[in-house]
Structure 1
Amino acid sequence: MKNPDVDAWLDAYDNPMKPVVEALREVILDADPRVSETIKWQAPTFVYKGNIASFFHDQGNMRR
């Protein structure tokens, strides 16, 4: 289920990788209905009985 806080984060996310982040969000949420999302560490984080994955922006390690 999509979280409105994550929707707001994505609306404000200004990055050329935004379409990739949005696509990965769909894949993760569609993988299992028990997976939910929240904002942790100022980034979308996917959880089910603990943290599964999170999106972080690390300018120093971006690959183009």
Structure 2
Amino acid sequence: MKTETEKVNEFMQKFNHPLQEEMDAVREIIMKANASIGEHIKWGMPSFFYKNDMATFAPKAKKYVQIVFHKGVLLDDGSGLLEGDHPERRDAKFHNMEDVKAKQSNLGKVVNNWVKIMNQ
């Protein structure tokens, strides 16, 4: 039986996105930010979780890589990484590899903030 990460690996190998390399890099940053984070396929896309669903790639975005943080309103992000005014969710967008690298630290902080909130 395949692990959830193996299923995500297979999905990512078949998924066709103009910024595939950037998607792979964002996925790696999230997974390496905290060993407690898990991943699986949910809502038809790779999703990340710790105790509850945290974030999912948004497949319709083609000009950038978009991660939807489902309860992003709970996350203290003073960096401006998380955008939006939805009552609950916030989005992080990455336009190219330079942008991914520039936002890497802030993305890691958001992920660790999620783990901290879930442990309170």
Flag whether TM exceeds 0.5 (same fold).
yes
* 2:54 is equivalent to residue 52 of structure 1: yes
Aligned to 2:20: 18
Displacement of 1:63 in angstroms is: 3.2
* 2:63 is equivalent to residue 63 of structure 1: yes
- Secondary structure of 1:3's partner? helix
Quote the RMSD (CA, aligned, Å): 1.6
CA distance in 2: counterparts of 1:63 and 1:11, whole angstroms: 19
Residue by residue over 1:1-27, the C-alpha shift from the partner in whole angstroms, topping out at 9 and shown as x without a partner, is x70000000010111111111000110
Displacement of 1:62 in angstroms is: 3.9
State the TM-score, normalized to the length of structure 1.
Answer: 0.85
State the TM-score, normalized to the length of structure 2.
Answer: 0.47
Q: Which amino acid aligns with 1:33?
A: A
Identity %: 28
- In structure 2, runs of 5+ residues without a counterpart are 65-120
Higher RCO (CA 8 Å, separation ≥ 6 residues): 1
Aligned to 1:35: 37
Q: Which amino acid aligns with 1:5?
A: K
Residue by residue over 1:13-44, the C-alpha shift from the partner in whole angstroms, topping out at 9 and shown as x without a partner, is 11111111100011000010000000001100
Structure showing greater Rg: 2
CA distance in 1: counterparts of 2:13 and 2:20, whole angstroms: 10
Q: Are 2:47 and 2:57, in contact at CA under 8 Å, matched by a contact in 1?
A: yes
